[in-house]
Amino acid sequence: MLTVEQALQKILEAVSVLDAENVPIMETLGQVLAEDIVSTVTVPPLDNSSMDGYAVRSADTRGAAEKTPKTLKVIDTVIAGGISKKEVTPGTAIRIMTGAPIPPGADSVIQFENTDDAKNKDASLNQTPTQVNIFVAASPAQNIRRAGEDIAQGKTILKKGAVLRPAEIGLAASIGRSHLKVVQRPVVAVISTGDELTELGKPLPAGRIYDSNTYSIAALVKRYGCVPKILGIARDNEKDLLKKLKQAQDADMLLTTGGVSMGDYDMVKDIIARDGNMVFWKVKVKPGKPLAFGKINGRDKNGKPRSIPHLGLPGNAASCMVSFELFVRPALLKMMGKINVTKPTVSAIIEDSVKNNDGRRIYNRAVVEKRDGHYYARVSGPQGSGMITSMSQANALVIIPEENGGVKKGDTVQALMLDWNQEVNL
């Protein structure tokens, strides 16, 4: 049986980065840039004011104080987006709003609060005062944002491979880009298997359960920036399963849940082995031992044959989610062009003793909290592999190594933080 690392390595080896496409900027959140972005403009384009106030010659304000104000003649008002045609000559000032270009002659901006215009701040523009008293001495360059101080024309502002977070989207927008070339989002077909499953919204017959895996798995697919293609429930017979598998043919990855353990009707793994290419079945991990990984035959958008990675996740509600975090997430991130596919992890002091004697690595659902500068982890409730409540109460998966028989209260363990994001572009 493979270790977690061996299984993950086999999965990562079998998937590759998807093609790039040109996409409207607002659709690219979380995607990976497939081009270098070079600025065609200068940001800001001109020297401009970072305050609402008066553009002045700093020399004119020398010695100004509350009791000895300097009086300047107001010759114009310039608003953001406008350009003053006047020049600030000795003894004059131009009223200026944040973002407006600095008029020629001025080398400094005095904010309204340091003038007797403070009370007029909201006055309409046609009531511009004819003179202003300045209460402080201005230093040269004060409250001026320099042209190009943020982005110089010709500069590479984002490199191929950058992950597009809100800041990168804003950065690209600040140079006017409406579309970006990004690695495609993987389309992930999701199939639940089981004769016992009932669709949401239908009454629950005796002995049946609702299909929750479709939704937890599709939500995970979405969370990591991919596109779920929900294909519904396949019953535990070959005909139904093959019919659903056919509908997954144009996806970039196929995820099934259930049908991979030792029961009489667990036929997912048998069908992968027969019709596709089974890479492995079973991993030394708890929960999630019965994980199957293989490739099924599919076709791309142009009808060209290709093989699709297929992870047969265990049916139990918590197991399939843990398996997704450990094995599916890294594969999807790789397909999206991401380099860092490891889950954010912290060292935490465990507050429960947990035995581990069967040679499998345990990933316990846990609550990790920071107290007095240390992370502490406690198990989030009963760990039965079908119990989704303790998954919902957890914010981490705590690793109980397969060696040493387990961990004792007070030991330091590694915790995978379920909701953390560590994507940074350096």
Q: Say which entry of Mg ion, ligand AMP, none residue 323 contacts (CB below 5 to 8 A, set by partner kind).
A: none
Interacting partner of 196 out of Mg ion, ligand AMP, none (Cβ under 5 to 8 A depending on kind): ligand AMP
Smallest distance from Mg ion to CB 208, Å: 12
Stretch that binds Mg ion, among 9-17, 207-215, 250-258, 322-330 (CB under 5 A): 250-258
Residue (168 or 211) nearer to ligand AMP, CB: 211
The contact set with ligand AMP (CB under 6 A) reads 192, 194, 196-197, 209, 211-214, 257-261, 263, 266, 314-317, 386
Q: Which does 104 bind (CB under 5 to 8 A by kind): ligand AMP, Mg ion, none?
A: none
Integer Rg of the chain from CA = 31
Which CB, 197 or 367, lies closer to Mg ion? 197
Alpha-carbon distances of 245 from 8, 137, 138, 258, 310, rounded to whole Å: 23, 76, 73, 14, 10
Per-position x/- string for 73-112, each x denoting binding to Mg ion as judged by CB under 5 A, each - no binding:
----------------------------------------
Both tokens assigned to 297: 């035959």
Instruction: Report the residue number, 34 or 248, with the smaller CB distance to Mg ion.
Output: 248
Q: Residue 358: what are its φ and ψ, rounded to 5°?
A: -105, 20
Closer residue to Mg ion (CB): 228 or 315: 315
30 binds, among Mg ion, ligand AMP, none (CB under 5 to 8 A by kind): none
Among 44, 101, 225, 258, binds Mg ion (CB under 5 A): 258
Least CB distance to ligand AMP at residue 399 (A): 23
Q: Report the alpha-carbon distance of residue 40 to residue 414 in Å, rounded.
A: 46
> Quick one: which of 194, 225, 312, 314 contacts Mg ion (CB under 5 A)?
194
Q: How far is the CB of 45 from ligand AMP (least distance, A)?
A: 56
**Alpha carbon of residue 302 to chain centroid:** 31
Residue whose beta carbon is closest to ligand AMP: 315
216 binds, among ligand AMP, Mg ion, none (CB under 5 to 8 A by kind): none
Neighbours of 13 (CB within 10 A): 10
- Considering only residues 313 through 372, tell me which ones interact with Mg ion, judged by CB under 5 A: 315
State how far the Cα of 250 lies from the Cα of 245, in Å rounded to an integer.
Answer: 10
Q: How far is the CB of 236 from Mg ion (least distance, A)?
A: 6
Task: Identify which of residues 143 and 213 has a Cβ nearer to Mg ion in the complex.
Answer: 213
Give me the residues paired with residue 376 across strands: 349, 369
Altogether, the residues listed in the chain come to a count of 426
The token duo for 171 is 């950065």
Q: Are 399 and 350 in contact (CB under 8 A)?
A: no
330 binds, among Mg ion, ligand AMP, none (CB under 5 to 8 A by kind): none
The option from Mg ion, ligand AMP, none interacting with 257 (CB < 5 to 8 A, set by class) reads ligand AMP
Binding site for Mg ion (CB under 5 A): 194, 258-259, 315
